[in-house]
Amino acid sequence: MVAELEVTQGRVGVGCLDVKRDAFIVERFVEARGGCQRIAIRVPASELGEVVFRNASPGGASHFRVLRLGLTLEDVSRSPWPVDLLPREIHAEPVRRPEELKVFNDELAVAINRARMDFIEGLALPLEG
């Protein structure tokens, strides 16, 4: 799924529900930055229930417009890796001021690194020379 949004205030969650409509399969967030922002989400078609746009701003209402929404079926094999990373569109990202930069040593970063280490340990690779 590819969505193009213009978020003028707040933070918007864009996600896909499972077929039972009781849990998100995946959700991405779009902050108000001005202009059109593109977000791409990949999910197995057999698991997709509904696409959801929601207010994810802790400080009140969000304002946004959906400029385009596209769904495409792709014939792809399942990746052996436990992640699905999309390429960044760096040219479309705003230049951040130093006070906006964040060092990735928060709780989420620790959880991501723990998951990476658990995956590597689960491979049971030989460690001797």
SS3 of 21-62: the string is CCCEEEEEEEECCCCEEEEECCCCHHHEEEEEEEECCCCCCC
Structural contact between residues 41 and 24, judged by C-beta atoms closer than 8 angstroms: no
pLDDT on residue 84: 63
Which residues, including other chains, have CB under 8 Å from residue 126's CB and lie 6 or more apart? none
Spell out, as residue ranges, where the chain has pLDDT lower than 50.
none
pLDDT on residue 83: 65
Structural domain boundaries in the chain: 2-95
pLDDT on residue 123: 87
Structure pTM? Answer: 0.56
pLDDT on residue 11: 93
pLDDT on residue 40: 87
- Cβ atoms < 10 Å from Cβ of 9: 13
pLDDT on residue 6: 96
